[in-house]
Structure 1
Amino acid sequence: MNKHFFGLPDRKQRKILNSGYKVFSSNTYKKASMQLIADEAGISKSLLFHYFHNKQTLYEFLFLSAIRILQDQENTKIYTNGQDFFDLLEYELNLRLKLIERFPFKYRFLMRVYDENSLINNKEVNRIISESIKRRKMEVLNCVDKSKFRHEDDLEILYEIIIDLSNGFYFRVFDNGKMEKEGALNEFRLYLKNLKHNYYRKEK
């Protein structure tokens, strides 16, 4: 990668990153081309090659940038013992929304990387992503107030259910544009409310 990329204004850097996330997440690695990314970013292909030596270099940079962005987000979270599970999820959701607004295709890119089988360092990529997912899950499960649940054993499977719901929510809002964001957000919160009613103990 050329150091001149970091000399660009943040807005232009983000434009190139988002263009890479979009093209790589919408195509297999083999079909994603530097020309497509350059066109999406509104720059020439030769300039893109000036910043990144080849497609593999750009791909690896995008992956490392996406992981770093996630880690920076995680570092801003405050986990304390005895937190309400659903309040914590609401907080997580708001953080994720802010990040998605800046990098709308980043999560889909990471999902594509996770499933991509043709990369040289695929095992290492999967290890990094899996460890990040596991770490976040354990941080949440270890700090929530389990006494609020009817059955504490339900907590882990409930977490997985909500993660699947949130991934679906992301695709509906930021991917295909079929739903207005606020309406989808209210629908997702309604899901959480119903799950809370079914999994929490009834208040006396």
Structure 2
Amino acid sequence: MNEKFYELPAEKQQRIINAGLEVFGAYDYPQASTDDIAAKAGISKGLLFYYFKNKKEFYLFLFDYCCNFFHQQICTENFIQITDFFDLMEYAARIKYSLILQYPHFMNFVMKAYYSRREEVSEAMKERIGSTIGEIYTVYFKNIDFSRFKEEVDPQKLLNMLTWMAEGYIQDKLRQSETLNIDELMQDFHDWQKMFRKIAYKEVSDETHSQS
């Protein structure tokens, strides 16, 4: 990426980023038009490619931008104090759901990028997603007390399962064109947490750490 992009006023940077998120979030990578992105950003296509060498570079920049943005939203003082796996999952879910309400193009783009298959960007995305998943477990869960889990339970597999459930739930709501209600979403997520907590934690921990 051309470092001149960061010399632009913040408002113009954001317009270009939002335009990319909107178009790439609405279409699969091959069908997403850089002409449309430039038009929505209020710049020429030539200028877009002055800042970003090509379509693929811009796409990967946007994915990295989203990961960094989400990281900044999660890693707060409250996050550092959480030691319970399920409390952390619920905390992260609330942030994710609030981001969906505030930045719908953000989440549409991330979902399409995550499930990219047989596209020009797919191999690069596979490497980035693998790295991101590894970081999630080693960085975000570094303060978690895993001694609460039953020996036969793999916390990482449980994390994957809860993530798939949450993403599928959101996509189903969006397909039905329902307005996302964060309180309703969080209540459903909280109910899942209670169920999985009973399954995954040792009995003593269930009594000590149970939630209403």
Specify the alignment match of 1:190 in structure 2.
Answer: 191
Which amino acid is 1:18 matched to? N
CA distance in 1, matches of 2:38, 2:189: 35
CA-CA distance at 1:161 after TM superposition: 1.3
Specify the alignment match of 1:110 in structure 2.
Answer: 110
CA distance in 1, matches of 2:59, 2:71: 18
TM-score w.r.t. length of structure 1: 0.73
- Matched-pair contact (CA < 8 Å) for 2:66–2:110: yes
Specify the alignment match of 1:7 in structure 2.
Answer: 8
After TM superposition, the structure 1 = structure 2 runs for residues 36-47 of structure 1, keeping only pairs within 5 Å, are 36-38=36-38, 41=40, 43=42, 46=44
CA-CA distance at 1:23 after TM superposition: 1.6
- Matched-pair contact (CA < 8 Å) for 1:86–1:196: yes
- Worse overlay, 158-167 or 108-117: 108-117
Closer/same/farther in 2, CA of residues 101 and 49 from structure 1, 3 Å limit:
farther
CA-CA distance at 1:178 after TM superposition: 1.2
- Matched-pair contact (CA < 8 Å) for 2:90–2:189: no
RMSD: 3.4
Specify the alignment match of 2:164 in structure 1.
Answer: 164
CA distance in 2, matches of 1:4, 1:140: 30
Specify the alignment match of 1:137 in structure 2.
Answer: 137
- Matched-pair contact (CA < 8 Å) for 2:93–2:186: no
- Matched-pair contact (CA < 8 Å) for 1:5–1:13: yes
CA-CA distance at 1:42 after TM superposition: 6.4
CA distance in 2, matches of 1:25, 1:75: 25
Whether 1:203 and 2:203 are equivalent positions in the alignment is no
Which amino acid is 1:203 matched to? E
Specify the alignment match of 1:87 in structure 2.
Answer: 87
- Worse overlay, 143-152 or 185-194: 143-152
Q: Which blocks of at least 5 consecutive residues in structure 1 are unaligned?
A: none
CA distance in 2, matches of 1:118, 1:171: 22
CA-CA distance at 1:118 after TM superposition: 2.9
Closer/same/farther in 2, CA of residues 194 and 179 from structure 1, 3 Å limit:
farther
Specify the alignment match of 2:178 in structure 1.
Answer: 178
How many residues end up aligned between the 2 structures? 198
CA-CA distance at 1:184 after TM superposition: 2.3
- Matched-pair contact (CA < 8 Å) for 1:73–1:95: yes
Which amino acid is 1:86 matched to? F
Identity of aligned residues (%): 25
Specify the alignment match of 1:50 in structure 2.
Answer: 47
- Matched-pair contact (CA < 8 Å) for 1:84–1:144: yes
Closer/same/farther in 2, CA of residues 84 and 52 from structure 1, 3 Å limit:
same
- Worse overlay, 159-168 or 51-60: 51-60
- Worse overlay, 142-151 or 26-35: 142-151
